[in-house]
Structure 1
């Protein structure tokens, strides 16, 4: 499916989710309003009856008591317990209980009500006082939590929308990189073929063979670069190789094409190998890219140290330089597409390096440490063969 169609489907889905949230919120608000209206109607009817009884001198006290109980029982939402002055329960309303545990349940509920609300006194006679204990109705509780629920749903919707559009943006960036890489590989193919033909012609001439060999090495290097670009966007083949061999091969090539003011120091144990499933061509490009960035940071004069170590199924490759360093605020942003401090270039080098290490090799790449004016150390973490085979598929 084309990225455009995927993006369009996500937009439609998000619009439908937004409509659903709005409709559900509207329906729930209407339900609450209807319930409140019903309760208000009951209250007004009770007030009317109470007013009639207060203005009627012929009312019997027993009849008034019956009317009070009727008011309490007609309540369908507010939990209420009516007691005498000694806190003996007379009647209850809207308190669910099991018949076997009725007494215990009501006593527990009474304690909760005492803590939440002050009871309302009812003077029945000169010698008798009753108390009404109550707490918030279900409708009031819904009204309290409704804004929080709405904010949570809206927040969740915003998060989903953000991650969706972020994924869509990354997918578009990936498509740009893939298209650009394959087009670059295609364009390099013709001049490389031509250069190879020129090398064969030069071999028939009276020219120093060493110069032709160096010329051929650079053409082979161009072929590797073309191969790297052609593999961007497709899953590369991982080979079980000694990472040390890949590092040495890359540094050896760079040394002969770098200023003599730049020193390469490879600090590897002599008696160890670092077998790891990796693609030598792509990983060599990552190492080369980090080294060239280090050379730029050192203004073509300084020292690059490459260290290999291992621990708990992982292999660590540290590449340190004596350059100008990187501020901590930029530790993450330097891996973003388009980030660059150079006057030339598109700022895709470290972004593609991260993609190669983390997406293709299931590893990690990050700045281990950096100090302004003293240098930077990048760390690449890859997996040993046994660990990789247990957790990933080649």
Structure 2
């Protein structure tokens, strides 16, 4: 099955077009850099030709206007002219002293690595060698492709996270749709079961049988209500978190193995909190069941309610094998599970219920070989 193929094609076209545009800009900048460097080379060759003419002229001869203009116009390219007798002259290098021979030698080596030296000859005789570096404009321009590559990388990262977020949003919509459809499908046979249970009551059967059936029907109604609220904003009401937590905890205590020892403690008798009863019970059940699974069905589960105004913390502790610290945050991601047949949705739903619906916080408070402590933090209603 394919979902939203036109949208996917549009996104792909947008991504490819963007990369083509940025690549063309990068290629054009690189071409401009090479061309500018060639222009610098041509300018220096003209300067070297003028210098050759100057060196061959006798002292009595005048230097032409053209030669003067060539020398005067070159005010940007740093250069060192080394004569055949070893003497040298520097131009456009205000930060270098002509007497500092060591610095001059270092600059010559640098210029040689940047540009091929120009030999100034006359009738086969070497008069001087011109070493020149990149102008200030060229030095700034050569870093421009690096900046563009960084922009491409950042652009790619933005696109990647955009598509990742978009995909996660689509998955959330799909899960929400499946949850609502499941609730709808359960509703029809559930109504029928209610009717059949009323008929069984009229047949004068053992009341315990119909009472247990009613409990199971009530449980199915709770599950249906939970699934119907996924993907929509649930209604919150002021409830006593101590009572609601105890009810959810006791429900699991009665239905769990005798090998699991439950303990409940609250530092307050009553605390008003804005809750959705059905979803909050689901949260407690998911965390407790994960703890029981971590203990492999045998051990201690304790729950403590600790007021810390303006918050109240619900601490759920198990005696399982613990969670590596590197996974404390990832265990809440969809699809992350340590079970062979698990879907990895339990703790993901817990985080969504607590943080998105109740504006609270859920986290791993501590974990080690002695067990794990999960903490839910909600705001106390004034």
Distance 2:104 2:213 in 1: 95
Alignment of 1:28 onto 2:25: no
- Judged with a 3 Å threshold, the aligned counterparts in structure 2 of structure 1 residues 111 and 56 are, in CA distance, closer, same or farther, namely closer
- Judged with a 3 Å threshold, the aligned counterparts in structure 2 of structure 1 residues 240 and 14 are, in CA distance, closer, same or farther, namely farther
Q: 1:289 matched to which residue of 2? A: 286
Alignment of 1:376 onto 2:372: yes
Distance 1:135 1:242 in 2: 78
Q: 2:344 aligns with which of 342, 347, 361?
A: 347
1:141 shift after superposition = 2.0
Q: 1:104 matched to which residue of 2? A: none
Alpha-carbon deviations, 1:5-27, whole Å to 9, x = none? 55444433322321221122122
Q: 1:37 matched to which residue of 2? A: 38
Q: 1:338 aligns with which of 332, 335, 357?
A: 335
Q: 1:254 matched to which residue of 2? A: 252
3-state SS of paired residue (1:385): coil
Q: 1:205 matched to which residue of 2? A: 203
The two structures have a TM-score, normalised by structure 1, of 0.76
RMSD across aligned C-alpha pairs, in angstroms?
3.4
Alignment of 1:74 onto 2:70: no
Q: 2:12 matched to which residue of 1? A: 11
1:225 shift after superposition = 0.7
Distance 2:173 2:329 in 1: 22
1:320 shift after superposition = 0.7
Is 198-207 or 110-119 further displaced after alignment? 110-119
Structure 1 residues without counterparts, runs of 5 or longer? 81-91, 94-108, 122-133, 387-394
3-state SS of paired residue (2:322): coil
1:227 shift after superposition = 1.2
The two structures have a TM-score, normalised by structure 2, of 0.78
CA contact (8 A) 2:237 2:274 kept: yes
Structure 1 runs (4+) deviating above 6 angstroms are 66-69, 112-117
1:297 shift after superposition = 2.2
Alignment of 1:385 onto 2:381: yes
Distance 1:306 1:256 in 2: 15
Distance 2:366 2:323 in 1: 9
- Judged with a 3 Å threshold, the aligned counterparts in structure 2 of structure 1 residues 209 and 312 are, in CA distance, closer, same or farther, namely same
1:288 shift after superposition = 0.6
Alpha-carbon deviations, 1:108-128, whole Å to 9, x = none? x9558899964999xxxxxxx
Distance 2:379 2:137 in 1: 58
Structure 2 residues without counterparts, runs of 5 or longer? 80-90, 109-131
Q: What number of residue pairs does the alignment pair up?
A: 345
Distance 1:222 1:286 in 2: 17
Alpha-carbon deviations, 1:262-307, whole Å to 9, x = none? 232221124441x333322112111111111222222333221112
CA contact (8 A) 2:33 2:142 kept: no
- Judged with a 3 Å threshold, the aligned counterparts in structure 2 of structure 1 residues 135 and 51 are, in CA distance, closer, same or farther, namely closer
